[in-house]
Amino acid sequence: MTTAVHGSSVDIPTPDGTADAYLVHPADGGPHPAVLLYMDGFGLRPHLKSMADRLAAAGYVVLVPNVFYRYSKAPVAELPEFIDLAERPDVIASIRPAAQTLTPERAMRDAAVYLDWLAASPLTTEGPAGVTGYCMGAGLALRTAGTYPDRVAAAGGFHGAFLATDAPDSPHLLADRITAELYFGHADQDTANPADQIDRLDKALSAAGVHHRGEIYPGAQHGYTQADTSMYSEEAAERHWAALLDLFGRRL
């Protein structure tokens, strides 16, 4: 069952400035469980808002922050209506300066602000939130679950990038702090998340006793949920929706 939703732009004060964000919730006025949705590298744009709308229609209050707000308000770069990196390789270069403004420390300082903001909203129910993230946002979701374990009940990550690297601050190293249930939908055609990193993530979460499931989406490319890109797969995207709504339906 879906419901009518109401979306609006909001500004969220942070220690480092003002984060612009998109907030959408069921039009009945709530309260409903809170969800923090982390963007992919292409940022806050119409397609991500439509994804948030679909999640809100399932009964959630969804906040989508522009995590690159230190660089500029969204959009942080001029994007084509349809993103095909084979035709427009310059798109990645155009967003790189914005991405460089976000460090793990800054991202987690912001995460506390976003979670506080959602918790204080009259639209949300009490209790921990759900988090979902795409591409770089999957790493932010994993990091948020590990940094604020008492505040996150469920987290999903889809076509995640660099989730379990050799870096000393790799997100998977927070596994022993996580109490949320996690779900990952890995693209099998993804150089940003190769098989050895998928295995390393799974082993770290299993060793820490984290309730989690990771699935490989065959034939899916990095970015398979993003309908405004050439990487989109309707089949993989719908599989992601089923898994995410199942996770949130059980835990939120």
Q: Identify the CATH number of the domain in which residue 76 sits.
A: 3.40.50.1820
- pLDDT band at residue 80 under the 50/70/90 scheme: confident
Lowest mean pLDDT among 50-59, 71-80, 204-213: 71-80
Query: pLDDT higher for 84 or 181?
Result: 181
Return the closest-CA partner of residue 44 out of 85, 76, 8, 7. Answer: 76
Name, in order, each residue with C-beta under 8 angstroms of 138's C-beta and a sequence gap of 6 or more: 38, 156, 157, 158, 159, 160, 161, 163, 184
Is residue 222 annotated as part of the catalytic site, yes or no? yes
User: How do strand 61-65 and strand 17-26 relate by DSSP bridges?
Assistant: antiparallel
Task: Give pLDDT, residue 204.
Answer: 98
Q: How many CA atoms lie within 13 A of 44 on its CB side?
A: 23
pLDDT at 113 over 80: yes
Query: CA torsion, points 176, 108, 151, 40, in degrees to nearest 10?
Result: -100
- pLDDT band at residue 1 under the 50/70/90 scheme: low
Count of domains forming the chain: 1
Lowest mean pLDDT among 39-43, 90-94, 113-117, 226-230: 90-94
User: CA 98, CA 43: separation in Å to the nearest integer?
Assistant: 10
- Out of 32, 135, 172, 186, the active site residue is 135
- Out of 20, 40, 110, 190, the active site residue is 190
Distances from the Cα of 137 to the Cα of 75, 102, 209, angstroms: 16, 12, 23
Return the closest-CA partner of residue 181 out of 105, 249, 113. Answer: 249
Is 178:204 a contact under the CB 8 Å cutoff? no
- Out of 159, 222, 228, 240, the active site residue is 222
Is residue 135 annotated as part of the catalytic site, yes or no? yes
- pLDDT band at residue 220 under the 50/70/90 scheme: very high
Task: Give pLDDT, residue 100.
Answer: 94
Claim: this prediction has a pTM higher than 0.95: yes
Averaged confidence pLDDT in the chain: 96
Q: Residue 121 sits in which domain range?
A: 5-251
Is residue 190 annotated as part of the catalytic site, yes or no? yes
